Amino acid sequence: MRRNGKDYTKIPKSVESSLDQKIAAGLAPITNATFMHTAPHHDDIMLGYLPYINHLVRTPLNRHYFAYMTSGFNAVTNYYVLNLLENLLKFLEKPAFRQLLEEGYFRGRSSNRDWDVYHYLDGVASHSRTIKDEANARRLLRILIYLYEEESIEHLKDRIKELVDYFRTQYPGKKDLAHIQMVKGMIREWEADLLWAHLGFNSKSVKHLRLGFYKGDMFTEDPEFARDVRPIRRLMEQIEPDVVTLAFDPEGSGPDTHYKVMQAIAEALKEYLKKKGRKAPQIWGYRNVWYRFHPSEANVFVPVSLNSMAVMESMFMYSFGSQRDASFPSYELDGPFSRLAQKIQADQFQTVKTCLGDTYFNENEHPRLRACHGLCFIKKMTVPEFLEQTTALKKKMEANQK
Amino acid sequence: MESNVEKVALERSGREFMYKPTEKIGVIEVDNFPQLGKLTALRFLEWVQQNPDGVVSLPTGKTPEHFIKYVNKYLKEWTAAGVQKELQLYGLDPAKKPDLSNLHFVQIDEFYPIDPNQKNSFYYYVKKYYIDGFCLDPDKAMFMNLWHVGVPPNMTLKDVFPDGVVDLGLRNRHPTTAQEGLQKAVIEAVDQYCTDYESRIRKMGGIGFFLGGIGPDGHIAFNIKGSDHYSTTRLTATNYETQAAAASDLGGIEVSRNRLVVTIGQQTITYNKDVTAIIIAAGEAKSRIVAEAIENEKSNLYPATILQGLPNARFYLTKGAASRLVERRFVDFQST
């Protein structure tokens, strides 16, 4: 400012006012809205803005759908699946478990998929490792019955032994066969089911799209219309969302799955809005552990309390068994992503607090601001604002592919 | 600046090449990740037109995705009207399609130990994307294939290091078992291999075109934070940041924590003072380490500062990756 020589005395007031408005936007209640929360991977939504969701779900007048675009199998280690398989083999020998099979627990009624979830959360509530292990075994068996179209317990045991052999002999990091990717991906789907069941959402609300561009190759394919865009558009048609959230990476420099999913959603939105009379949803861009907003980029700051941080930690650790040991951690923190997300929220809060002063938060009339120790940053956009950024990138990417 | 490609890209960016005295290495900014690949590909092809039998080192991993795609696109469609127009625009000679088969290729780094046939080895990567992909001559390439180096006949590296753990302490102590004796001999052979690798690079006059990413700790090649600026090709350990970044390649940090690396050194990169050394980085996540490399005085803590003072060293950055360069922020601030 000294070098520039201009009068910047008005800037502090204008920054304060801008930050105040962004915080007010994060506190504003939202009701009667249908949310389509989307994510490239299964932990992206919760790491991006779970503290916001904690408030949005309090009114039953809001409807929430959680749509996972890829099956995220790359983040599941062979070692983790091996442990789950060995756990399943153990339960297959137990009379009670075999009785479930005979009663047709794994057949027909799709709602039983949710029963696995409730069983696991009962185990969480009662601190019972046995119940959680049994629920893990139930879901893994359900996955294998689905994949192999096989219900004979003896035949399934053979399959499980084949899988055990596979995971014991493959070198870590090798691209898996398609059916192994499915097993790993469905384990991550199970974890997302567990996550949202904490807040009362079941399989009617949690959608797994398994977009085909995600194949585990060194360079991910670009989304294709029929394969990757159409499933998203169909879901939009079913849900008719007022809000669509997405991992927002217009520079295309975060994990490549993130911006490829963003492109697919942008195309789906354009298709969805072609039909007359459809209301354009508001777009909420979020970022999390790989890529974050500068405070000036985001326009909504959601206050995060210690309570919300504890909820995030607990939900992450109980739900994401494959991520608990942080086999693919960030270079920023040697630990689970929930810890890093909390650190980012705390850092963002400190940045804003530096601008607004301690008094703003410590003596604020709003209890949520007195309890605030972190901030989630969100960028809310209109569809044209969102498309303006994605279209430019898409053109450049298309030119690259030609 | 001698490169037409860089002149055009710089003009399009609306920025200066270097905001002195804060910035100590030149920077060219682009809008996004694909554009970064395009600029790099054009600069590479321009360099090859001028140095058809030069020595090149190209990176592995996901960062060069668009670089690889653009080079392949340009080579495949060299005579297409659209490509010809673009080449002209960037000052390349459209009549002179680069022939990459006379280039000498130098592999930058590799995990150790690793079976080179594994698809997550860098040896596999460079063979697939550069030797086969760019039609380079494998006989003119230097690979880091250490699977049999120092290993007795009828054995593999897996027999020598069954759990993949290599104790570099064996360099300085007596082995206590026959297995450790074998391991010590292999480590010594690898050390010699590295010295020979370095000598071969120097005999060629050093590296003429070096393209690399920058790691989360600022590493270039596997020269991690704290590496000696006079380092040469060597077998060495990594730090947590590098292990975390390598976890996805190796199937988990449980594996990458125990894996060593062989890497060319910082002096290997700068041995040829005329080297065209380009570091590419995309995204806000890299902005801090990029700023530290460009704005700090030379320091072991910032490995890329070794490029300061080299006339043809550059950073090609997306806007996000350049966002913490303080003079550029000042310029942006002034214009608001």
Taking only the tens place, the pLDDT of each residue in B103-134 is 999 999 999 999 999 999 999 999 999 999 99
Q: Per-residue pLDDT for A7 more than 80?
A: no
B window 49-88, beta carbon within 8 A of A: 62, 65-66, 68-70, 73, 77, 82
Q: Which of A178, A197, A217 is the last residue of a domain?
A: A178
The predicted structure's pLDDT at residue A98: 85
Q: State chain B's mean pLDDT as an integer.
A: 96
Question: Are A215 and A300 part of one and the same domain?
Answer: yes
The predicted structure's pLDDT at residue A9: 81
B window 179-198, beta carbon within 8 A of A: none
The predicted structure's pLDDT at residue B214: 96
Instruction: Report chain B residues whose CB lies below 8 A from the CB of A401.
Output: 69, 73
Structural domain boundaries in chain B: 102-283+300-307
B324: nearest CA partner in chain A = A294
The predicted structure's pLDDT at residue A190: 98
Question: Are A62 and A88 part of one and the same domain?
Answer: no
Q: State chain A's mean pLDDT as an integer.
A: 92
CA distance A402 to chain B (A): 7
Mean pLDDT of B221-234: 97
Give the burial class of B257: count Cβ atoms within 10 A of its Cβ; 0-12 exposed, 13-18 middle, 19 or more buried. Answer: middle
The predicted structure's pLDDT at residue A107: 79
In a domain, A23, yes or no: yes
pLDDT tens column, A26-42: 999 999 999 999 999 99
Q: Which of A160, A178, A196 is the last residue of a domain?
A: A178
CA distance A329 to chain B (A): 6
8 Å CB contact between A159 and A86: no
- Whole-number Å distance between alpha carbons of A362 and A344: 20
Contact A219 B65 (CB under 8 A): yes
CA distance A158 to chain B (A): 26
| Three-state SS sequence of chain A | CCCCCCCCCCHHHHHHHHHHHHHHHHHCCCCCCEEEEEECCCCHHHHHHHHHHHHHCCCCCCEEEEEECCCCHHHCCHHHHHHHHHHHHHHHCCHHHHHHHHHCCCCCCCCHHHHHHHHHHHHHHCCCHHHHHHHHHHHHHHHHHHHHCCCCHHHHHHHHHHHHHHHHHCCCCCCCCHHHHHHHHHHHHHHHHHHHHCCCCCCCCEEECCCCCCCCCCCCCCCCHHHHHHHHHHHHHHHCCCEEEEECCCCCCCCHHHHHHHHHHHHHHHHHCCCCCCCCCEEEEECCCCCCCCCCCCCEEEEEEHHHHHHHHHHHHHHCCCCCCCCCCCCCCCCCHHHHHHHHHHHHHHHHHHHHCHHHHHCCCCHHHHCEEEEEEEEEECHHHHHHHHHHHHHHHHHHHC
Question: Are A143 and A262 part of one and the same domain?
Answer: no
**Exposed e or buried b for every residue in B278-307, given b needs 16+ CB within 10 A?**
bbbbbbbbbbebbbbbbbeeeeeebbbbbb
In a domain, A353, yes or no: yes
Mean pLDDT of B10-27: 96
Instruction: Report chain A residues whose CB lies below 8 A from the CB of B33.
Output: 251-253, 259
pLDDT tens column, A249-273: 877 766 688 989 999 999 999 999 9
Contact A253 B282 (CB under 8 A): yes
B117 reaches A (C-beta below 8 A): no
Higher per-residue confidence, A296 vs A107: A296
B321 reaches A (C-beta below 8 A): yes
The predicted structure's pLDDT at residue A395: 66
Q: Which of A79, A218, A389 to mutate to test the interface with B (most CBs of B within 10 A)?
A: A218
Question: Are A122 and A240 part of one and the same domain?
Answer: no
pLDDT tens column, A39-73: 999 999 999 999 999 999 999 999 999 999 999 99
Name the pLDDT band for B2 (thresholds 50, 70, 90): confident
Name the pLDDT band for A235 (thresholds 50, 70, 90): very high
Instruction: Report chain B residues whose CB lies below 8 A from the CB of A252.
Output: 32-34, 282
Identify whether B113 is preceded by a cis peptide bond (ω within 30 of 0): yes
**CA within 13 Å, CB half, A52:** 27
Q: Which of A178, A194, A228 is the last residue of a domain?
A: A178
- Whole-number Å distance between alpha carbons of B323 and A286: 19
CATH number assigned to the domain covering B102-283+300-307: 3.40.50.1360
Question: Are A157 and A278 part of one and the same domain?
Answer: no
Owning domain of residue A390? 11-70+209-401
A171 reaches B (C-beta below 8 A): yes
The predicted structure's pLDDT at residue A236: 98
The predicted structure's pLDDT at residue B308: 95
pLDDT tens column, A340-395: 999 999 999 999 999 999 999 999 999 999 999 999 999 999 999 999 988 766 66
- Whole-number Å distance between alpha carbons of B281 and B67: 12
Q: Per-residue pLDDT for A402 more than 60?
A: no
The predicted structure's pLDDT at residue A316: 98
- For chain A, how many structural domains are there in total? 2
Q: Which of A351, A400, A401, A402 to mutate to test the interface with B (most CBs of B within 10 A)?
A: A400
- What proportion of chain A, given as a percentage, has pLDDT over 90? 78
Instruction: Output the six-digit token pair for A2.
Output: 């000294």
Question: Are A112 and A56 part of one and the same domain?
Answer: no
Contact B284 A173 (CB under 8 A): no
pLDDT tens column, A211-232: 999 988 888 888 898 999 999 9
In a domain, A339, yes or no: yes
Name the pLDDT band for A102 (thresholds 50, 70, 90): confident
CATH of the domain at A306: 3.40.50.10320
Instruction: Report chain A residues whose CB lies below 8 A from the CB of B332.
Output: none
B254 reaches A (C-beta below 8 A): yes
The predicted structure's pLDDT at residue A399: 57
Instruction: Report chain A residues whose CB lies below 8 A from the CB of B286.
Output: 253
Would you give the DSSP letter of residue B30?
A: E
The predicted structure's pLDDT at residue A255: 67
Question: Are A50 and A112 part of one and the same domain?
Answer: no
Q: Per-residue pLDDT for B43 more than 70?
A: yes
In a domain, A186, yes or no: no
Contact A326 B240 (CB under 8 A): no
Name the pLDDT band for A103 (thresholds 50, 70, 90): confident
Instruction: Report chain B residues whose CB lies below 8 A from the CB of A219.
Output: 62, 65, 68-69
The predicted structure's pLDDT at residue A216: 85
B277 three-state secondary structure: strand
A326 reaches B (C-beta below 8 A): yes
Residues paired with residue B313 on neighbouring β-strands, in sequence order = B277
